[in-house]
Amino acid sequence: MEKNNKDMIDVNATTSDRQGLAGALEGFFRRFRTLAFTLTMVPIAFLYVFCMGLSLTPGITLLTAVNESTRDLHFILRNSLLGFSVAATFFSYGLTIIFVVPLVNKLLPLKVKPTRASWFSFSVLPWYYHNALTYLVRYTFLDFITPTPLNKLFYQMMGMKVGKGTMINTSNISDPCLIEIGDFVTIGGSASLVAHYGQKGMLVIDKLVIGDRATIGLKASLFGDVVIGKGVLVKAHEVVLPKTRIPDVEEKKAA
């Protein structure tokens, strides 16, 4: 019913329209929200441990080797070498995790799709997991490589469509798999690109599209179900609300 009749969504429902086991599980999820939400987050913790552990392995291998090979050195020299190794471990972790996380995201059987549903619905679970993985990289390393081709590459591997010549000078991005950015676009520093929004107790997930040669100003905020036309300038700190359609600059001139 959620997908067929938008006006019929009951965000406080403790039952599910799904049939069989899926319906029973979603009903449990809604009836015991705190417990169920906590249980749902447990797999994310395991994914974090796996991704971070795998990404730390090269650096820790280096650190262990340096630790073993410097035992007979003067303690100041030894500590200096260990300090360099710890720093190298951090950057080795970062350069590894930007590839590990997209691989894990791709292997997950959960795929994010545009939807409009209660926050406590199975249809939004892929959204939770996709963003959890995105945020793992965002909050542990991504700012160190923004803006560089590596942050653009990370978002592309997470499913974002990014055209040639585009510069992304922000890490404030959610739902990358539902964001489409054209050619020669400039995304200003600390701009927020979010392909979802909350409305009347519901979560709405929808595409965010930015046309060719558009410029998104410093700390501007764009939400889901927004289309920015070609050549459009979104000014610094401007907020573009859901359902907004800004036509191409060429179309405006022609009118």
In a domain, 32, yes or no: no
Q: Which amino acid is at 141?
A: F
In a domain, 209, yes or no: yes
Q: What is the CATH number of the domain that holds 207?
A: 2.160.10.10
In a domain, 21, yes or no: no
Higher model confidence: residue 33 or residue 197? 197
Q: Give me the pLDDT at residue 125, please.
A: 86
> Quick one: pLDDT band at residue 36, thresholds 50, 70, 90?
confident
In a domain, 4, yes or no: no
Does pLDDT of 6 surpass 60?
A: no
Segment 184-203, tens digit of pLDDT = 999 999 999 999 998 887 88
How many separate domains does the chain show?
A: 1
Q: Give me the pLDDT at residue 63, please.
A: 95
Q: Give me the pLDDT at residue 116, please.
A: 86
> Quick one: pLDDT band at residue 214, thresholds 50, 70, 90?
very high
Segment 107-139, tens digit of pLDDT = 998 899 998 887 777 778 899 999 999 999 999
Query: In the beta sheet, which residues pair with residue 233?
Result: 215
In a domain, 17, yes or no: no
Does pLDDT of 28 surpass 90?
A: no
pTM: 0.86
Average model confidence (pLDDT) for the chain?
A: 88
